[in-house]
A = this chain, B = another copy of it.
Amino acid sequence: MKMKKLIAAVAVACLSSVVFADEPIQPIEAAKDINTAQAELGKKLYFDPRLSKSGFISCNSCHNLSMGGTDNLQTSIGHKWNQGPINAPTVLNSSMNIKQFWDGRAADLKEQAGGPIANPGEMAFTHELTIEVLMSIPQYVDEFKKVFSKDGITIDEVTQAIAEFEKTLVTPNARFDQWLKGDKAALNESELAGYELFKSSGCTACHNGTAVGSNSFQKMGVVEPYKTANKAEGLKGLTGKDEDRFKFKVPTLRNVEMTYPYFHDGAATTLSQAVDTMGRLQLGKKLTDDENAKIVAFLKTLTGEQPNFTLPILPPSTDKTPRPVPFE
């Protein structure tokens, strides 16, 4: 009986690996190896606007977990309504990113997390004040002590906890993943045709792997140049090399139905526009309306299970907590 079960299990395993072995996209699995205590602390920090000068902007303001981990704005709103320079990428599945930010200037989630806090156009705070605020709140002091087994709070621990929470934000079980794993009824004919077109048109050259992207930097505008008023230059901003102009991290297409508008400048309002532009500029291919619609239908099957957790309750400030200064 045991042997039978083992054989059956092996058979299923073989079958499922065969199913998506030839596919350029792999299913997302549930988050593993999470330090739950760190992640719970990180969740609070992620929602805490006291990590901003104004006391109004939290990580969740621009990477809103009710809205696909983004703000659904062309570019973000920062301190004093500053207009951000670039479209906020989704935080969902961002642990799979080869690097962080559109230009990859942060190696990992932990390094990324410190950026917006101290960016004058975003949260406009400082790492020093972040620590001062947190150290003034006994519940935070206690929780950091419990989580990191030492006294005091460092910015390294703050970003570590936020990053650990962000690692939980994966979105498994999209209909496309169900299909990949063998449930052939998970996609309809049009969605499947869209997937075939997505592959045959060449989209999977860049949009592949578990995150359907996020694993390489590519030039925006390969066949035709990309025209935009946005000043971001991608990798060139880091290397200074002209050949790196407009090289951006290929965004994930997971949950792409929720992460509008599209491109680093947020110029494409709809998925249909984004697919059309990508076809023309990257692949030199004018997709018909029917082809476009089918690819869009396929892309919508990439929406996975969204974050599912209780809204965190933040510990109150004390008399010693530095107060926000929103209007200075």
Which chain A residues have a beta carbon within 8 Å of chain B's beta carbons?
Answer: 47-50, 54-56, 61, 64-68, 71-73, 77, 80-81, 83, 257-258, 260-261, 269-270, 272, 306-314, 316-317, 319, 323-324, 326-327
Task: Tell whether, in the assembled complex, residue A309 and residue B306 are in contact, meaning their CB atoms are under 8 Å apart.
Answer: no
Q: Which of B47, B56, B64, B72 contacts A71 (CB 8 A)?
A: B56
> 21 A-B residue contacts at CB 8 Å?
A47-B66, A48-B66, A49-B64, A49-B71, A55-B71, A55-B73, A56-B71, A66-B312, A67-B314, A67-B316, A72-B317, A81-B326, A83-B327, A260-B316, A269-B319, A270-B319, A307-B313, A308-B310, A309-B310, A310-B310, A310-B311
| A73 surroundings in chain B (CB, below 8 A) | 54-56, 324, 326
Assembled-state Cα–Cα distance A49/B313 (Å):
20
| A310 surroundings in chain B (CB, below 8 A) | 308-311
| A257 surroundings in chain B (CB, below 8 A) | 316
| A327 surroundings in chain B (CB, below 8 A) | 81, 83
Copies of this chain held together in the complex: 2
Kindly name the residue among A310, A316, A317 whose own CB sees the greatest number of chain B CB atoms within 10 A: A316
| A319 surroundings in chain B (CB, below 8 A) | 269-270, 272
| A261 surroundings in chain B (CB, below 8 A) | 323
| A272 surroundings in chain B (CB, below 8 A) | 319
Assembled-state Cα–Cα distance A308/B309 (Å):
10
Task: Tell whether, in the assembled complex, residue B65 and residue A77 are in contact, meaning their CB atoms are under 8 Å apart.
Answer: no
Known: A260-B316, A316-B257, A319-B272. A311 touches B66 (CB 8 A): yes
Task: Tell whether, in the assembled complex, residue B55 and residue A326 are in contact, meaning their CB atoms are under 8 Å apart.
Answer: no
Chain B nearest CB from A48 CB (Å) reads 8
Chain B nearest CB from A182 CB (Å) reads 27
Using A55-B72, A55-B73, A73-B326 as known contacts, list a sample of 16 further A-B pairs with CB atoms less than 8 Å apart, ordered by residue number in A.
Answer: A49-B71, A50-B72, A54-B77, A56-B71, A65-B311, A67-B316, A73-B324, A80-B81, A81-B81, A83-B327, A258-B316, A261-B323, A307-B313, A309-B311, A310-B311, A311-B311
| A311 surroundings in chain B (CB, below 8 A) | 65-66, 307-311
| A56 surroundings in chain B (CB, below 8 A) | 61, 71, 73, 77
Q: Which residue of B lies closest to A313 (CB)?
A: B306
Q: Which are the 6 A-B pairs with shortest beta-carbon distances?
A: A81-B81, A306-B313, A270-B319, A258-B316, A66-B314, A56-B77
| A47 surroundings in chain B (CB, below 8 A) | 66
Assembled-state Cα–Cα distance A307/B312 (Å):
9
Assembled-state Cα–Cα distance A47/B47 (Å):
13
Task: Tell whether, in the assembled complex, residue A326 and residue B77 are in contact, meaning their CB atoms are under 8 Å apart.
Answer: yes
Task: Tell whether, in the assembled complex, residue B67 and residue A260 are in contact, meaning their CB atoms are under 8 Å apart.
Answer: no
Assembled-state Cα–Cα distance A67/B311 (Å):
11
| A83 surroundings in chain B (CB, below 8 A) | 326-327
Task: Tell whether, in the assembled complex, residue B77 and residue A316 are in contact, meaning their CB atoms are under 8 Å apart.
Answer: no
| A306 surroundings in chain B (CB, below 8 A) | 313
Assembled-state Cα–Cα distance A257/B257 (Å):
41
Assembled-state Cα–Cα distance A80/B311 (Å):
27
Assembled-state Cα–Cα distance A55/B260 (Å):
13
Chain B nearest CB from A270 CB (Å) reads 5
